[in-house]
Chains A and B, each alone.
Chain A
């Protein structure tokens, strides 16, 4: 079973990398970009097929390691 975790910076936290990417997109002529925020994606594969159990495990994974909840939010899709 496949799951995906998306970790993004909380709103209000300055994202200098996102800003730099935003600048680069503008200089490439990509139009209409209002802002860019950079995040991380984790694709996790589980051996079993219990979605609820996988989700609970990923919740633990996010709180313990995948996200720093001081500055980041996370979203789990199983």
Chain B
């Protein structure tokens, strides 16, 4: 597994992401700059980390979604290459057209930073093989704009084609209601592209890889990726 992490001006989770990738794959990911035009040869996975790219100016992820490196990321995804976007990375994937929908301001208008349970919708993808289908995992969220919104036909298509990756749930695995932190349609925390080779999610699995800092439920995602290529 050869991974590359893209750093935009204002990214701030790239160090955590690199650590999680190193732990799972045994090798240091390449760190790319937003102004780069190509990925290192043989890249299997491109990761867009969390943060506040371009200070969230215009719309979260809007300017990063049009950065020079994104043409290479789009070409990589079109070839079936793996792409992971977390938090601001998810917002960038939506703004770049790699994933449908948009992440709007949290319904309660607050920046929410806390632990959050998620339900793993399917475990037959490159991102989730090391989880069980329907498993509840405990990770963390830290966002002000995580309220997933798309038009009715898009939501219907995501649901019908099994493209919802994770949903917000409570510790008992019950989806929705008060367990939905931000007002997301259908309690959606993460979605796949049509080919299921692109995943965007708001929660931060890269911060839950060490028992010293609260748990290891995030490891499954990186171990899945490590064994995917």
A interface residues, Cβ below 8 angstroms from B = 13-14, 16-17, 20, 64-66, 68, 70-71
List residues of chain B with CB within 8 A of the CB of A13: 104, 149
Please tell me if B186 contacts chain A, counting CB pairs below 8 Å.
Answer: no
Question: Which of B66, B109, B147, B151 meets A20, CB within 8 Å?
Answer: B109
List residues of chain B with CB within 8 A of the CB of A65: 58, 62-63, 66
- Known contacts A65-B66, A71-B102, then 8 further A-B pairs from the complex at CB < 8 Å, ordered by chain A residue: A13-B149, A14-B149, A14-B183, A16-B104, A17-B105, A68-B62, A70-B102, A71-B104
Which range contains the number of B residues in contact with the other chain?
20 to 34
A64 vs B70: C-alpha distance when bound (angstroms): 14
A65 vs B183: C-alpha distance when bound (angstroms): 25
List residues of chain A with CB within 8 A of the CB of B66: 64-65
Chain B proximity of A68: nearest CB distance (Å): 6
A16 pairs with B101, CB closer than 8 A: no
Max chain A Cβ within 10 angstroms of own Cβ: one of B58, B107, B183 = B58
Chain A proximity of B24: nearest CB distance (Å): 33
List residues of chain B with CB within 8 A of the CB of A17: 105, 109
List residues of chain A with CB within 8 A of the CB of B109: 16-17, 20
A64 vs B107: C-alpha distance when bound (angstroms): 27
Task: Known contacts A65-B62, A65-B66; decide if A70 and B151 are in contact (CB<8 Å).
Answer: yes
